Amino acid sequence: MNKDTFTILIVDDNKMNVKLLEKVLTKEGYLTLSAYNGRDAQILACKEKPDIILLDIKMPGNDGFTVIKFLKRQSDTSSIPVIFLTGLSDIKSKLTGFDLGAVDYILKPFHPKEVIARVRLHLKLSIATNALIADQANKLKQITEAQTSLLIKPSMYTDAHFGIYYNSLHEAGGDFYDILPISKEIYGYFVADFSGHDIKTSYYTASIKALLKQNCSPVYQPNESIKIINEILIEILPESKYLTACYTKLNRKSKELTIINAGHPPIVYVPKNEKPYLIEIGGDIIGIFHNAFFEQKILNVSEGDRFYIYSDGLIESAKEQKVWTAGSTKLMETIDNSRDTPILEAPNAIVKKMFEDSEKPDDDIVLIGVEV
């Protein structure tokens, strides 16, 4: 079936009405489907997905109101325009139909030219709406793809020895991460969470990536790098925008891990032969305060140790009223049970385990696992 062919489902318990509508519509080049009761109409609509439905209100069994309620609850049929066929002219019935999602009414007895005119009108509106939705979806897809293309994959920096889980619930995610090759044996690992998830966020993440590349170098200590980035972001971010972040620099040669936390959840550190624990340090959020304070902690590490940086969507849930303290306890238990999982696979395994007994995440999630 090509794009110029439109199918119309006719639903009426009066066979004479159905035959008349079939004749009128096929004469104009439309394909028709017919049902004589509400239940058959529901089945046929779900199976064939017609371009428009002409639906009688008063039918035995499932009446037109029942049918449209059903169709609007199904993802495959919810957007199909429904025009009611009715002998009811009272306002209450019309308003009920519109409230349920009908786009129009044709009063019985109907005139063939009126039927054709209304069908054409609502097919045009449907085509225009679907084209607009497709265009907007394509633009948002491009934004999402552009934002995702900025994210580093483990295969790009094999010496960084990290695994990543990243999932954005919105077209423009608020969570962001980056991996920074400072030298052959020194890497930076950065996770941030922007306030809000609007389209502008995708552009800000590109700015953050550029700032990290410019300022996370051997010349600066990590807290100096974040201070510089903070001062610049204060100038370019609107007042309502800020971010929490965690930045770590791992020097595998000196076996030192430097940690900066800017109002972000604490990292989980996993010594090779000991229990995981949280590393809690202070720090202001980024993008709000001039001369912000970012505490710096240096940790001596050993080969085989691991640490995890994550966003709060992993441990908090507004929907389930789960706060970070309870979520952190479960996270450390899950990480402890995943210590034998290869680091490339560990973040995905951990996230899957964290949500196996609950609803799907209601926020963006980033989880980076790094092995020393």
Q: Where are the alpha helices (DSSP H) in the chain?
A: 15-27, 38-48, 64-73, 91-100, 112-149, 200-215, 222-236, 324-337, 346-354
Structure-token pair, residue 198 = 């609007």
Residue 238 Cα to chain centre, angstroms: 24
Q: Radius of gyration of the chain from Cα atoms?
A: 29
CA 33/CA 44 separation, integer angstroms: 8
For every one of its 372 residues, what pLDDT tens digit does the chain have, with 9 covering 90 and above? 445 689 999 999 999 999 999 999 999 999 999 999 999 999 999 999 999 999 999 888 899 999 999 999 988 898 899 999 888 777 888 888 889 999 999 988 889 999 999 999 999 888 887 776 666 555 545 544 555 556 788 999 999 999 999 987 654 457 889 999 998 899 999 999 887 655 566 667 777 888 888 888 888 889 999 999 999 888 888 877 888 999 999 999 999 999 999 999 999 999 998 999 999 998 999 998 888 899 999 999 999 999 999 998 888 765 555 556 667 888 999 999 999 999 999 999 999 998 887 666 657 889 999 999
- Size of the chain in residues: 372
- Domains in the chain (CATH in brackets) are 7-141 (3.40.50.2300), 150-371 (3.60.40.10)
Q: Are strands 52-56 and 7-11 parallel, antiparallel or unpaired?
A: parallel
Contact 8, 51 (CB under 8 A): yes
At CA 351, angle to CA 148 and CA 261, rounded to 5?
70
CA 228/CA 3 separation, integer angstroms: 56
The pTM of the whole model exceeds 0.75:
no
pLDDT tens-digit profile of 102-155? Answer: 999 998 888 999 999 999 999 988 888 777 666 655 554 554 455 555 678 899
Tell me which DSSP letter residue 294 carries: B
CA 90/CA 107 separation, integer angstroms: 11
CA 328/CA 322 separation, integer angstroms: 10
